[in-house]
Chains A and B, each alone.
Chain A
Amino acid sequence: KQEVTQIPAALSVPEGENLVLNCSFTDSAIYNLQWFRQDPGKGLTSLLLIQSSQREQTSGRLNASLDKSSGRSTLYIAASQPGDSATYLCAVPDQAGTALIFGKGTTLSVSS
């Protein structure tokens, strides 16, 4: 059964720092991995999707990498801002490819 783990569970940094969020998964036979953002009291918003054939994807200050063989993905946030404060979740498809399995998320707090 696929399991997704995110470390750390919470992270506090001062504004301007570069930071890395980690995601690991137990079954490397995935065909994509997605990163989502969730603001308090809100739904989830998709940030980046990495296909299994890709090693990374970039959107603005966000860069996500994928290493299938080691079962790991990282989300790199450059020059963090208070507006980046949110919970970040990674997710991979289940074996049947019909639903996403989510990690429990990393809650990021960026102070000004």
Chain B
Amino acid sequence: NAGVTQTPKFRVLKTGQSMTLLCAQDMNHEYMYWYRQDPGMGLRLIHYSVGEGTTAKGEVPDGYNVSRLKKQNFLLGLESAAPSQTSVYFCASSNRDVYGYTFGSGTRLTVV
């Protein structure tokens, strides 16, 4: 009964380093999302996917890339981390028509 699993839970990066955040869901959901949550800014959509092999930009996509090679996995990459990318990142998945939104527990990323 895992739902949505995010890896890692915490990470500290130096400016310029790269990393990949992994999201895995076991509910056979078609749609997957990456959001970032910052104080005073709320949840903002970074990228999303409406099916295996598809990706699309959200509200704040700059500095991030994503891939959805398998239906159950959605990867978020930072090629060259910047302090402005310090945030809490949430992955979510849903079935069509955005019903049944299920969130992961988040990844707290600090870029120094």
- Residues of A whose CB lies within 8 Å of any CB of B are 31-32, 34, 36, 41-46, 49, 89, 91, 93, 97-105
Contact = CB atoms under 8 A, between A and B. Distances in A.
Interface string B32-70: 010100001111010010100000101000000000000
A97 B42 contact: no
B15 to A, nearest CB: 25
A102 B36 CA distance: 12
Contacts, number: 53
A43 B106 contact: yes
Given A42-B105, A98-B48, A99-B58, A105 B99 contact: no
Which size bracket describes the interface of B in this complex? Answer: 20 to 34
Contacts of A91: 101
Chain A's interface: helix, strand, loop or mixed, by majority? strand
A19 B33 CA distance: 32
Contact of A104 (B4, B40, B101): B40
A64 to B, nearest CB: 15
Contact of A43 (B33, B48, B56, B105): B105
Given A42-B106, A44-B90, A104-B42, A98 B50 contact: yes
Contact of A45 (B45, B58, B99, B103): B103
A45 B50 CA distance: 21
